[in-house]
Amino acid sequence: MKINKTTLEGVLHIEPKVFGDARGFFLETYNKERYMAAGFPDVDFIQDNHSRSSKGVLRGLHFQLNNPQGKLVQVATGTVFDVAVDIRTGSPTFGQSYGCILSEENHHQLWIPPKFAHGFCVLSDTAYFCYKCTDYYHPDDEGGFLWRDAALGIDWPLSDPLLSEKDKAYACLADIDASMLPSY
């Protein structure tokens, strides 16, 4: 396994070791002892999620303020462009993002620490997206901002995604009161 630091402090791009042959493949999607030995933080995962989305769907950019979730994300089937955004007020990388391709072919994972926003868009016909969380989902605590916020400089690989009504209505990050964002 290889754990790569990214341009955002704490966000990690993980390349698990995959054992494959003509029969298929095997990989560990998480092993606390091995991940920590390779530089992954000591966290406790308490909720696993699995979603299915169609081509062109964009989910995000979302966060929880009072119950921030760290997320270890990966794709079981299909391909997505996955994004983490630093929304910690006072952070030297506030408003900066990191994006990468996660797919069933590359088996890569992305660690998004608590206090970061997250989103992804589906590039394949269908994607099954799986993630481990460090806190429970609290719908009343969820916040978000506009996926196409030009100030973020995210190079989304699609221009007209399928969005939820909630995601369509979000404002830009700069328009969110700082008290509604986590601190560094």
Residue 62 bears catalytic tag: yes
* E-state strands within the chain: 2-5, 12-15, 19-21, 24-26, 47-54, 58-64, 71-77, 79-86, 97-103, 109-112, 116-122, 126-133, 142-144
Residue whose entry in the numeric block shows the structure tokens 């993980």: 14
Amino acid, res. 158: L
Residue 13 bears catalytic tag: no
Instruction: Encode 88-104: b = buried (16+ Cβ within 10 Å), e = exposed.
Output: beebebeebbbbbebbe
HSE-CB at 40 with a 13 A cutoff on CA atoms is 27
Strand order in the sheet with 58-64: 97-103, 79-86, 116-122, 58-64, 142-144
Beta bridge mates, 50: 130
Catalytic site residue from 62, 98, 118, 128 = 62
Catalytic site residue from 35, 98, 131, 170 = 131
Identify the sign of the CA torsion 97, 62, 89, 73.
negative
Catalytic residues: 62, 131
